[in-house]
């Protein structure tokens, strides 16, 4: 890998969730050795590979060749990948399995992605042929009728009441958290809000230096030890959406959402609200039946081969200045290198925040226009990855 830890791992939640731009070219233009996933975009390629690896319970080196990784860095950051080499038989087998999955879905399901790698493998290289013995017991209890589901407006009102006084106009909000990530990496995150339109994130993940990002009105920037640059227009709404997760009310209710089920989230029952972002992307929110609080958010995006999922869990709600806020946020997607647990150590309101921290440092020079950076609670995929 050629980009920093923060670049690779901090923004696990929005790039997949956002629909891919129709003008985005396929990754095969840059990677001519792609033989099956020729129509997949660059921004979806590595998340898809991670999902496939997770489905089989393997790492990237199961199929791919690695030459001279940096021994001073963690496994996922050590680099040395030569993606286009076909030395390993497992990579050739993987291509055939991908063709089989695509063929089954095309022939049997009209192109709908009903069968995936996980359907058969369930986290193992060898797919099981037999159910476990002894067989499971069949219940003799009569099926219970499906529960009556509430209207989505009622669930939303219960959520707003549970948060309590969410319309209170805090002039500023400052949150600090520890950030424990996969591979034993530990750092901190600071999020600062001022008014309704300004937010700044700062991540520190040793041994990397701090990386900051801010949105101020209609503009934004990102900066690290190598320089700074303005955010591209399509990045700004992603950052704002990510920032919303740290506010008391964490979603903007979409017009087309509806309550579709009751599911368990840990030990809690939750109403599941579903919205279709576009033809390939769906988002679900899980609201505690008893308290009304938001417990989980999950986005699923269908791709050419496997669905890509992202999830945030909200835990340990506490009342701070009249509003309920989670003191633990867990994020995950299809990559074992992208898991994160943020435990908030301080949440304060109406403290003095200087306007200058939202201005771009360094005159906007240093980071190339195409550089990607991980941003807390949102996702910009890296230009190189595991």
- The per-residue pLDDT for range 98-146, each reduced to its tens digit, is 999 999 999 999 988 899 999 999 999 999 888 889 988 887 777 778 8
Domain count, the chain: 2
User: Does a structural domain hold residue 382?
Assistant: no
Q: Does 157 share its domain with 83? A: no
The pLDDT of residue 378 is above 60 = no
Q: Does 158 share its domain with 72? A: no
Sign for the CA dihedral angle at 236, 240, 241, 242 comes to: positive
User: Does a structural domain hold residue 147?
Assistant: no
Q: Does 100 share its domain with 172? A: no
Structure-token match 């790492």, residue found: 59
Q: Which of 121, 144, 164 is the last residue of a domain?
A: 121
Q: Does 115 share its domain with 175? A: no
User: What is the reported pTM?
Assistant: 0.84
Taking a C-beta distance cutoff of 8 angstroms, is the pair 236, 220 a contact? Answer: yes
User: Does a structural domain hold residue 201?
Assistant: yes
With a pLDDT cut of 70, the percent of the chain lying above it is 87
Cα separation values, 211 from 39, 178, 242, 262, Å: 33, 15, 16, 40
Rounded distance between C-alpha atoms, residue 299 and residue 315, angstroms: 18
Most confident range (mean pLDDT) of 163-177, 310-324, 361-375 is 310-324
Taking a C-beta distance cutoff of 8 angstroms, is the pair 149, 260 a contact? Answer: yes
Taking a C-beta distance cutoff of 8 angstroms, is the pair 45, 27 a contact? Answer: yes
**Using 50, 70 and 90 to split pLDDT, how confident is the model at 384?**
very low
Q: 52: domain CATH number?
A: 1.10.468.10
Per-residue pLDDT at 200: 97
Q: Does 159 share its domain with 12? A: no
User: Does a structural domain hold residue 327?
Assistant: yes
User: Does a structural domain hold residue 385?
Assistant: no
Q: Does 35 share its domain with 114? A: yes
Q: Does 59 share its domain with 158? A: no
Q: Which of 121, 138, 171 is the last residue of a domain?
A: 121
Q: Which of 102, 121, 140 is the last residue of a domain?
A: 121
Rounded distance between C-alpha atoms, residue 207 and residue 214, angstroms: 22
Which range of residues forms the domain containing residue 234? 152-364
Average pLDDT, the chain: 86
**On the CB side of 346, how many CA atoms lie within 13 Å of its CA?**
11
Q: 257: domain CATH number?
A: 2.50.20.10
Rounded distance between C-alpha atoms, residue 201 and residue 212, angstroms: 5
User: Does a structural domain hold residue 27?
Assistant: yes
Q: Beta partners for 263?
A: 270
Nearest CA to 15 out of 386, 384, 381, 383 is that of: 381
Count of Cβ atoms closer than 10 Å to residue 363 Cβ: 8
Would you state the torsion angle of the CA atoms of residues 160, 188, 332, 43, taken in this order, to the nearest 10 degrees? Answer: 110
Per-residue pLDDT at 146: 83
User: Does a structural domain hold residue 358?
Assistant: yes
Per-residue pLDDT at 358: 94
Q: Does 257 share its domain with 317? A: yes
Q: Does 35 share its domain with 105? A: yes
Q: Beta partners for 285?
A: 273, 297
Q: Does 290 share its domain with 225? A: yes
User: Does a structural domain hold residue 231?
Assistant: yes
Taking a C-beta distance cutoff of 8 angstroms, is the pair 48, 376 a contact? Answer: no
Q: Does 49 share its domain with 194? A: no
Q: Does 91 share its domain with 165? A: no
């Amino acid at each position: 890998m050629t980009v920093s830890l923060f670049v690779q791992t901090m923004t696990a939640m929005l790039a997949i969730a956002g629909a891919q731009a129709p003008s985005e070219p396929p990754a095969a233009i840059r990677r001519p050795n792609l033989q099956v996933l020729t129509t997949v975009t660059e921004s979806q390629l590595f998340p898809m590979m991670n999902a496939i690896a997770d489905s089989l319970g393997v790492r990237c080196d199961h199929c791919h060749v690695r030459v001279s990784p940096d021994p001073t860095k963690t496994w996922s950051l050590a680099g040395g990948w030569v993606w286009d080499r076909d030395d390993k038989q497992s990579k050739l087998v993987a291509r055939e399995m991908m063709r089989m999955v695509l063929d089954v879905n095309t022939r049997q399901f009209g192109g709908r992605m009903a069968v995936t790698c996980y359907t058969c493998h369930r986290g193992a290289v060898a797919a099981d042929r037999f159910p476990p013995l002894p067989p499971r017991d069949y219940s003799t209890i009569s099926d219970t009728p499906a529960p009556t589901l509430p209207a989505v407006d009622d669930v939303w009102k219960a959520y707003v009441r549970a948060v309590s006084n969410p319309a209170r106009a805090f002039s500023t909000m400052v949150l600090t958290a520890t950030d424990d990530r996969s591979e034993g990496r530990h750092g901190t995150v600071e999020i600062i809000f001022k008014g309704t339109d300004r937010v700044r994130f700062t991540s520190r993940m040793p041994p990397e230096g701090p990386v900051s990002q801010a949105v101020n009105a209609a503009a934004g920037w990102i900066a690290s030890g190598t320089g700074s640059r303005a955010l591209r227009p399509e990045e700004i709404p992603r950052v704002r959406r990510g920032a919303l997760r740290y506010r008391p009310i964490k979603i903007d209710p979409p017009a087309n959402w509806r309550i579709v089920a009751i599911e368990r989230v840990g030990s809690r029952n939750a109403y599941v609200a579903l919205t279709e972002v576009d033809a390939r992307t769906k988002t679900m929110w899980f609201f505690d039946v008893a308290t009304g609080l938001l417990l989980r958010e999950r986005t699923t995006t269908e791709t050419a081969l496997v669905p890509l999922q992202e999830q945030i869990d909200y835990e340990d709600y506490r009342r701070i200045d009249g509003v309920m806020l989670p003191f633990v946020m867990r994020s995950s997607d299809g990559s074992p290198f992208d898991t994160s647990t943020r435990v908030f150590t301080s949440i304060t309101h109406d403290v003095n925040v200087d306007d200058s921290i939202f201005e771009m440092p360094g005159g906007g020079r240093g980071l190339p226009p195409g550089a990607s950076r991980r941003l807390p609670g949102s996702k910009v995929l890296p230009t190189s990855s595991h």
